Chains A and B, each alone.
Chain A
Amino acid sequence: MTHSPLALERDGDVALLVLDAPPRNVMDRAFFEAFAACVRDVLPGLDAAGLVVRARGRHFSAGADVDQLRQVAASGDSEACRSLRENAAAFTALEALPFPTVAAVDGACLGSGLELALACGGRVATPSALFAAPEASFDLMPGCGGTVRLPERIGVGAALDLLLTGRYVDAQEALHLGLVDVLAPRAELHGAAVRWVRRLAAERGRFP
């Protein structure tokens, strides 16, 4: 049995969804299948005040496996296209969970990794986090909601700037742009993310 790229853990009343393919946490086909199944079958039934999406290791996620993605898209077969739609639908299902979600980001948060963070209700990051939507550099574009969620967070101009140039945005700029809600040192990232998701839960009137 291979190691699952995802783990579900707890910190008191807060559930933790952990990307568990360090160091880069590449979102390959196995990741997306595990993620879609978890969001569809497990997360909606959790008794939790909120969910923190975090990663094992130095990096949140280096994004999708570009070669795999390109092969799938180029094959054009309906099975492959359906799997891409399911990836995108899983991110949207994350938004529909009955409790708030927060991404805890350290290190690289790129491409589909950024799209996953954007599908969360909030984002907490360390000062060394780095964000980018580098798809255009590979002659690709986001396919999991990035073109919808990025302008929602940071406006059309800044979103186009990131999507077309593929440039890297450091944590300070991400905070200024509104891509990130709050910064916390690495040692305090988890605690800050848990506090943030509880705060979102309180705003929903569900907690305490």
Chain B
Amino acid sequence: MTVHLQRDGDLGRLILDHPPANTLPDPVFVDPAALAAFLNAPDLRGVVVQGAGRHFCGGADIEGLLARLQNPDALGGALTRGKALLRLLADAPVPVVAAIRGQCLGAGLEIALACHARVASDGAMFGFPESTLGLLPGLGGTVGDGDRVERRVRADLLLTGRLLGADEALALGLVDRVLPGGGTVAAAEAFLRTWIDGRSPALVHALMEAMRNARRLPRDEALRRETDLFLRVAREART
């Protein structure tokens, strides 16, 4: 598995590159320290997560996974570190948007759901097929982390393993935008631009921090810190 962490001006790209379907041989799909440094670069304003070629990510590499089951303790540790990677994405100080075409399955869907928004081509396919293989998702897919997939929808996808097209994924809240044909990465960038263009980096950072607090802290504490952030932003704002 190769993951490229690239800079393209003020945007970053995380490219899953393991053709043909960018399956993950290892739940720790990128070096955690490298990802943390990449996401926290002071001049970074947003990130697009994409797959090389025709697919986003077809999920875990099943043969690699079965081989790893010979050593369950090591696999458990790797899954824990893999979940920490998704948390780095979800807690990033700048918005992270997934550009999805082709397969977005299993661990691929877990990566996509860890992003702050998802832009998909109309040919994209979504699902948690793990149960059809006698497995279940290992990177937090059974729990969710602030996404808007309802519990009954999540249960349906997990239990049946059925695949969704992009339009149904949109209706069920798995994706935020669907567009016809290609150009998914450009569309995801354009979507990201509507979030950050014209906004000061300090304001975007403050909003990302407030949203992170809302997911990670006791509710009263998140509410208290929102007012702190509001005061900071208001004092820095141009008058």
Contact = CB atoms under 8 A, between A and B. Distances in A.
B207 A160 contact: yes
A88 interface: yes
B147 A157 contact: yes
A202 interface: no
Interface in B209-239: 210-211, 213-215, 219-220, 222-224, 226-227, 229-231, 233-239
A154 B222 contact: no
Nearest to B173: A155
Contacts of B229: 141, 147
B116 interface: yes
A126 B94 CA distance: 35
A147 B213 CA distance: 9
A164 B176 CA distance: 15
A160 B95 contact: yes
Nearest to B200: A139
Interface residues of B, number: 41
Contact of A147 (B116, B147, B173, B207): B207
A153 B214 CA distance: 12
A73 B148 contact: no
B235 A156 contact: no
Interface string B145-169: 0111000000000000000000000
Contacts of A70: 234, 237, 239
Given A74-B239, A165-B194, A92 B233 contact: no
A147 B210 contact: yes
B230 A142 contact: yes
A160 B116 contact: yes
Interface residues of A, number: 35
Contact of B226 (A138, A139, A148): A148
Contacts, number: 119
A147 B211 contact: yes
A30 interface: no
Contact of B210 (A74, A92, A141, A178): A141
Contacts of A13: none
Interface string A163-175: 1110000000000
Contacts of B235: 73-74, 76
A165 B190 CA distance: 13
Given A88-B223, A139-B238, A148-B219, A164 B148 contact: no
Given A142-B226, A165-B195, A156 B211 contact: yes
B52 interface: no
A69 B176 CA distance: 33
B117 interface: yes
B231 A81 contact: yes
A159 B208 CA distance: 11
Contacts of A145: 223, 226
A73 B231 contact: yes
B228 to A, nearest CB: 9
Given A88-B226, A156-B147, A157-B148, A140 B173 contact: no
A165 B203 CA distance: 12
A151 B146 contact: yes
B230 A139 contact: no
Contacts of A159: 211
B211 A164 contact: no
Per CB-CB distance, the 10 closest pairs between chain A and chain B, nearest first, are A155-B148, A73-B234, A143-B230, A139-B237, A147-B210, A164-B195, A156-B146, A157-B117, A148-B214, A88-B227
